[in-house]
Structure 1
Amino acid sequence: MTDWRARIEPFTRPLFFALSRATRGMTLGVRIAAVDEGGRVLLVRHTYLPGWWLPGGGVDRGETTDAAAVRELREETGLIATAPPRLISIHSNERFFRGDHVLVYRVDAFEAGPSDSRGEIDAVEWFDPLNLPSDVNRGSRDRLAEIFQGIPLSPHW
């Protein structure tokens, strides 16, 4: 990421969230559990949020959630889905962002391509879902436990 963007992102991101809260009744986002042949899951470290997260982001106006999952996976990680993503769960994210909902998808078939994170992603790494780093975002950790450990699905992010 460029130096100027790294310096202003911590200030512009909260402003974007505040504007979104004030102007939107509901927001919709996707997170993607990309799983490789060895059973590892791909996580990203954002430049503007602490810890590791499932890749993902907002659904654009007029875009389907499946298309958003494929787009966000490509933009943030460079992975190009070669089969449709599979919807795993839907969650309310009221605790973090009033009116927000997150859909979790799983992608098991993909090929490598260029990422286009526009400076949003600091790192991309594969992890054993049963041995995650200590700083994985709570919501991402909970979703991975639901997928890989059979923990009952929570309606909340």
Structure 2
Amino acid sequence: MPSLRTRLFHVYARLIRPMTLGVRALVENEKGDILLVRHTYIGGWHMPGGGVERAEPCEEALRREILEEGGIILTGPPRLIGIYSNHVSFPNDHVIVYHVTPDIWQAGKATAHGEIAEARWCSPADLPEGTTQGTRLRLEEVYRGAAPSPYWGGQKP
């Protein structure tokens, strides 16, 4: 069950944004490991990312979020993986996922304060316990050739 803080955020988001849009990044390093983060306000391990603000291009939101959460500075254009409906978690929510390969980023300093409990590089074949279903499904699609689903969590609402 989501925390009170998470539920209040969802109510607030519904009031100010009838449709929500988020971005996530599948960030790889030169060893082939991927970056996952654990937030302080919601459970599980996720690809870094977050909400797209009003009048903000999606790629700019991605740049902002991966710098905040992982200290990742984009130096080239990320590749679009897909757009997914996340209506099970939040009605009318969508998530855009980009692939950030080692040749288009450099390490910087994470700028988020209090939002990220932990960040970790791990093998896509050895994910930490608690990795979210949406994250697992995207990794299966990218690394194992699984059939893409239009739904973030793999299920219709």
Find the counterpart in structure 2 of residue 78 from structure 1.
71
Q: Which moved more, 1:21-30 or 1:64-73?
A: 21-30
- Is contact 2:124–2:139 with CA below 8 Å preserved after alignment? yes
Q: Tell me, which stretches of 5 or more residues in structure 2 are unaligned?
A: 153-157
- Is contact 2:36–2:46 with CA below 8 Å preserved after alignment? yes
1:46 lines up with 2:12 in the alignment: no
1:90 lines up with 2:87 in the alignment: no
Aligned length: 148
Counterpart pick for 1:27 among 12, 20, 29: 20
The TM-score, its normalising length taken from structure 1, stands at 0.90
- Is contact 1:30–1:59 with CA below 8 Å preserved after alignment? yes
* C-alpha distance in structure 2 between counterparts of 1:51 and 1:27, whole Å: 20
- Is contact 2:48–2:66 with CA below 8 Å preserved after alignment? yes
Counterpart pick for 2:151 among 136, 141, 156: 156
Q: Tell me, which stretches of 5 or more residues in structure 1 are unaligned?
A: 1-9
Find the counterpart in structure 2 of residue 6 from structure 1.
none
* C-alpha distance in structure 2 between counterparts of 1:34 and 1:59, whole Å: 18
- Is contact 2:18–2:92 with CA below 8 Å preserved after alignment? yes
The TM-score, its normalising length taken from structure 2, stands at 0.90
- Is contact 2:49–2:62 with CA below 8 Å preserved after alignment? yes
* C-alpha distance in structure 1 between counterparts of 2:7 and 2:113, whole Å: 18
Q: What is the RMSD of the two structures over their aligned residues, measured on CA atoms?
A: 1.2
1:15 lines up with 2:8 in the alignment: yes
1:141, CA displacement in angstroms? 0.8
SS of residue matched to 1:17:
helix
Q: Which moved more, 1:10-19 or 1:67-76?
A: 10-19
Counterpart pick for 2:138 among 143, 150, 155: 143
* C-alpha distance in structure 2 between counterparts of 1:71 and 1:63, whole Å: 10
* C-alpha distance in structure 1 between counterparts of 2:88 and 2:44, whole Å: 18
1:130, CA displacement in angstroms? 1.2
Aligned-residue sequence identity (percent) comes to 47
- Is contact 1:69–1:85 with CA below 8 Å preserved after alignment? no
